[in-house]
Amino acid sequence: MRAIVRIAAWLYAIAIYGFIFLPVVMLVLFSLQATSFPIPPFTGPSLRWYQAVLSDPRLTSALVNSLLVAVLSSLASVTLGFLSAWGFARFVLPGSALLRGLITLPLTVSYLIIGMGLLVLFNWAGVPKSLIAAGVGHVVINLPLCFAIIYSQMGDHQINIERAARDLGAAEWKVLLMITVPVMAPAIFAGFFLSMTFSWDEFVISFLLTRFDTTLPVEIWNLLRSGLNPKTNAVGSLVFAVSIVLVVFFELTLLRRKPA
């Protein structure tokens, strides 16, 4: 009986792994296709579609744009999120629960609606579509995430640690730089990393708020109009690779260190 359960469990797990990896394997495999259709039979391997991607100035500039937007909007999100989490965790503020609710509210609203709202507002205020507008939208979606992660990690023990530092004569900005930021570093880094990946992948806000200069997901979307194409496979595989590098880096640097 026990053996049957075990075998069934293994078969089930393998089936789910297969389901999860099937599209990714197809994506990467047919990015190496030598001919013009990314469907069986496999005719590669060939790197011609990767060359096509890297020599396409629209895709390469979109890649740079995506990285810029991701890094800058994540920096803004984590800074605003950290400062507000610190303020709410450390001080008794009137209406604190309500204000915290307000900051985390965008988490419950879909990106489409956030993008729509900004589009209507910017349209009304005469703000032109741009990468900066998309970056503003990315901070709206990632700020509550950074806030929630960092706020959840600020326990009473950390509060006492800061009180000890003040008691020993540290000025407020020294407490911040020498105690709070280093102690909270794992949560700050987790917030920054998650914001990076979400911004890097985000499509609909960038789609609504940019025009000529745009991000990689939007540029890939434009490629989709040409139907199935190994070039899309190649750029998709590259995006996938960047995400994997980020995740593995995150896993190795952050999650291995277990604070006592």
Partner 1 sequence: MSAPLVDIRNVSHRFGQHPVLKNVSLAIEPGSYTILLGPSGSGKTTLLSILGGFVTPSEGKVFIRGEDCTSVPPAKRPTTTVFQDYALFPHMSVGSNVGFGLRMQGVDGATRAAKAREALALVGLAAAFDKKPHQLSGGQRQRVALARALVIEPAVLLLDEPLGALDLKLRRQMQDELKAIQKRVGTAFVHVTHDQEEAMALADHCVVMNDGRIEDEGAPERVYARPKTRFSATFMGESTILAGKAGDSRDGRVTVTTGLGSISLPGRSPADASVALAIRPEHLVLGDVKGDVALGIAKVSDVVFQGSFKRVLAASTQDPALQFIAKAPASAAVRAGDTIAVSCNAGDIILLAD
Partner 2 sequence: MSVSGSNSRALPWALVTPALAWTLLFFVLPFIAMGLSSLTAHEGGGFTLANYSQFFTDPSYWRAMVNSLEVTATVTVISILLAYPFAWILAEQVPERWQRLALMLAVLPFWTSYVVRSYSWLLVLAQNGVVNRALSGIGLIAEPLQLANTRFATVTGFVHFFVMLLTLTIFANLKQLSPSYRKAAADLGAGPVRTFLHVVLPLTLPGIMVGAFLTFVLCIGDYITPQILGGNNELVMPQLVMMQIGRRGDFPLASALSIILMAVVTIAYLACARWLKIERA
Residues lying near partner 1 in the complex (CB under 8 A)? 157, 160-161, 163-171, 174, 179, 182-183, 185, 259-260
Stretch that binds partner 2, among 16-24, 53-61, 67-75, 178-186 (CB under 8 A): 16-24
Stretch that binds partner 2, among 43-51, 52-60, 110-118, 177-185 (CB under 8 A): 110-118
Looking at beta carbons only, is 45 or 155 nearer to partner 2?
155
| Distance (Å, whole) CA 232 – CA 49 | 8
- The reply on whether position 78 binds partner 2 by CB under 8 A is no
Closest CA to 105 of 145, 153, 150: 145
Looking at beta carbons only, is 183 or 235 nearer to partner 1?
183
Q: Which residue shows structure tokens 């006492």?
A: 160
CB 156 to partner 2: min, Å: 9
Radius of gyration of the chain (CA): 23
- The reply on whether position 49 binds partner 2 by CB under 8 A is no
User: How many helices (DSSP H) and strands (DSSP E) are in the chain?
Assistant: 12, 0
Closest CA to 232 of 14, 30, 25: 30
Give per-residue burial for 80-94: e unless 16+ CB within 10 Å, then b: bbbebbbebbeeeee
- The reply on whether position 108 binds partner 2 by CB under 8 A is yes
Q: Which of 73, 74, 84, 210 binds partner 2 (CB under 8 A)?
A: 84
Looking at beta carbons only, is 74 or 233 nearer to partner 2?
233
**Based on the number of CB atoms within 10 Å of its own CB, is 129 exposed (0-12), middle (13-18) or buried (19 or more)?**
middle
CB 165 to partner 1: min, Å: 7
Q: Which of 62, 70, 139, 190 binds partner 2 (CB under 8 A)?
A: 139
CB 97 to partner 1: min, Å: 15
- The reply on whether position 192 binds partner 2 by CB under 8 A is no
Which DSSP helix (H) or strand (E) runs through 68? helix 57-90
Q: Which of 117, 130, 170, 186 binds partner 2 (CB under 8 A)?
A: 117
Residue 174 contact, options partner 1, partner 2, none, Cβ 5-8 Å cut-off depending on partner type:
partner 1
**Based on the number of CB atoms within 10 Å of its own CB, is 203 exposed (0-12), middle (13-18) or buried (19 or more)?**
middle
**Based on the number of CB atoms within 10 Å of its own CB, is 75 exposed (0-12), middle (13-18) or buried (19 or more)?**
middle
Looking at beta carbons only, is 72 or 246 nearer to partner 2?
246
- The reply on whether position 185 binds partner 2 by CB under 8 A is no
CB 96 to partner 1: min, Å: 14
Say how many Å lie between the first and final Cα of the chain, rounded.
41
Written as six digits, the tokens of 229 are: 């194409």
- The reply on whether position 135 binds partner 2 by CB under 8 A is no
